[in-house]
Amino acid sequence: MMKRIFTVLSLAAVMLGCEKPENENQIRQPDVPSGGLNPYLPSELALPAIMSDNMVLQQNSRANIWGKAIPGSQITIQTTWTEETFTGITDNDGIWVVPVATPAATTEPQSITITDSQRAEEKIENILIGEVWLCSGQSNMEMPMRGFGVGTDNYQPVLNSEEELSTADFPAFRYFKVPYSDLEAAAVEPQFDIRNGNGSWSVSTPSNAREFCAIGFFFGRKMHQELNVPVGIIGCSYGGTPIVSWMKNSGEAVSADKSSPGVCYNGMIWPVHHYTVKGFLWYQGESDRDNPNYASDMQEMVSTWRKDWGDTENKLPFYYAQIAPYGYSDNLSAAVMMETQFNAMADIPNSGVVSTSDVGDRKYQHYPNKKVPAERFWLWAAKNIYGVSSTDPQGPTFEKMEISDGKAVITFSHASSLSCEHSNIPYVQIAGSDKQFYSAVAVLGPEKNQITVSSTQVTEPVAVRYCFTSWHEGSLYNEAGLPAYPFRTDNW
């Protein structure tokens, strides 16, 4: 009896003496080996919700497996795809993170067995190895395949959702929905697990896929079909949230409100940040139309997320969508946000921006056509990450303006040719030195990647704008069918 008391007291002394490392992404080891633990202590081995049956692990990687156990415990992991054993030691908080080598993609179901020093065991089954992406943002990313709302008055559907869902049997396509933050807890500190530990991986079926976020469903399905590998999508979005809620705050407690700095980061991002992913998709900005710091906020958020995921070389791609046209009460706030989002691409390494200038809805901010932007996201990944497409994912981009004979000639890059279903390209404005904009006559040419803009009310043009309004319907496309990004040549 005295020997057991001495062992427990010795363990407590060791635990009190341990220090935390500078890098929290590394496994922190106590000062004594796990062999000093009493194997008869009750086990505290536990896994977060996302470490569960049906999950997809990133292929050809060191995929993190993590959980909790008694501090100082040795964790041993065995998998069905290799005879190699993977081990780690829990840190002073009881957290352990063990990177596990994964093979090339396979649809053969796999399993993982995890044991600790107390011989407790956890098993994860029906695991597939493939490609994993995290989708985050606010409501246009969150919008599920079933749509938003009920009834006829407030129902906002996803275009052709019932038809798309009817063929959604994809056993190798899985989805994990991160539930909304526990705001009370997340307002205080980063959380080990998602709200109440609720959440599970869902296999794509016509029934299950109704709850998949539409952008994630169409993007993941396209990837699954094009690459012929298992795909896992992590849906981590919360409608009506500003970007600061997704950013790491400075550590102070904040109010339990979804708009508070850090609450979505603490309660939704941090609980899954160990999960090894291939890249990020981001769709947010509607709640930041009056935020003058949005560009720097997004740069900081991306940098933080990459560091949290152990990426110090900006290798994890960050693809994001411009907010879509909508009947906002003002005329320019959305246009300025679209401009800010486009310009951020130059300051965020390994990023790409998708235009939604042609798919918005004047009545519904949650526009129905989510398939189009999702497949534009795929174009970025297909060319830059997977090398299965030669299509330039960037749409026509304003390059320069030249004035000649009272007309403005606009030249676009990322367009060897342009097309428009209208003889007079709509949503084009022109202004002189008085800064008064007038609707313009805008036609294709003279070169294939140019348009010519003029107005009888502006004899000496100084500035041109295209789709630079909160509501518009973009109709100028390049040869790949990608819409021109809204732009202005002025800074008024």
Q: Are residues 196 and 325 in the same domain?
A: yes
List all residues 6 or more positions away from 111 whose beta carbon is below 8 Å from its beta carbon.
Answer: 79, 80, 123, 124, 125, 126, 127
**Residue 28 reports pLDDT greater than 90:** no
Q: Are residues 169 and 37 in the same domain?
A: no
Q: Are residues 345 and 408 in the same domain?
A: no
- Residue 267: which pLDDT band, with cuts at 50, 70 and 90? very high
Q: Are residues 79 and 186 in the same domain?
A: no
Collapsing DSSP to helix, strand or coil, 226 comes out as helix
Distance between CA atoms of 461 and 216, rounded to whole angstroms? 44
Out of 354, 384, 414, pick the residue that ends a domain: 384
Of the candidates 335, 481, 487, the one whose C-alpha atom is nearest the C-alpha of residue 421 is 481
List all residues 6 or more positions away from 204 whose beta carbon is below 8 Å from its beta carbon.
Answer: 168, 169, 170, 171, 173, 174, 175, 212, 217, 221
What's the rounded mean pLDDT across residues 149-164? Answer: 87
Determine the longest span between alpha carbons in the chain, in angstroms. Answer: 100
Q: What is the pLDDT of residue 151?
A: 65
**How many distinct structural domains can be found in the chain?**
3
Distance between CA atoms of 320 and 342, rounded to whole angstroms? 10
- Residue 331: which pLDDT band, with cuts at 50, 70 and 90? confident
Size of the chain in residues: 492
Tens digits of residue pLDDT in 50-85? 999 999 999 999 999 999 999 999 999 999 999 999
Q: Are residues 165 and 301 in the same domain?
A: yes
Of the candidates 202, 174, 142, the one whose C-alpha atom is nearest the C-alpha of residue 56 is 174
Tens digits of residue pLDDT in 340-379? 999 999 999 999 999 999 999 999 999 999 999 999 999 9
Q: Are residues 317 and 354 in the same domain?
A: yes
Q: Give the residue numbers spanning the domain of 26.
A: 2-127
Q: Are residues 194 and 248 in the same domain?
A: yes
- Residue 21: which pLDDT band, with cuts at 50, 70 and 90? very low
Apex 354 CA angle, 145 and 169, nearest 5:
30
- Residue 43: which pLDDT band, with cuts at 50, 70 and 90? confident
pTM: 0.91
Q: Are residues 255 and 348 in the same domain?
A: yes
Q: What is the pLDDT of residue 8?
A: 34
Out of 384, 406, 428, pick the residue that ends a domain: 384
What's the rounded mean pLDDT across residues 214-225? Answer: 98
Tens digits of residue pLDDT in 113-142? 999 999 999 999 999 999 999 999 999 999
Task: Return mean pLDDT, the chain.
Answer: 92
Q: Which two tokens stand for residue 127?
A: 């695991």
List all residues 6 or more positions away from 189 whose beta carbon is below 8 Å from its beta carbon.
Answer: 266
Q: Is residue 391 part of a domain?
A: no
Out of 65, 99, 127, pick the residue that ends a domain: 127
**Residue 93 reports pLDDT greater than 90:** yes
What's the rounded mean pLDDT across residues 190-212? Answer: 96
The CATH number of residue 50's host domain is 2.60.40.10
Looking at 309-359, list the stretches that DSSP marks H as alpha helix, in order from N- to C-terminal side: 333-344
Distance between CA atoms of 338 and 332, rounded to whole angstroms? 10
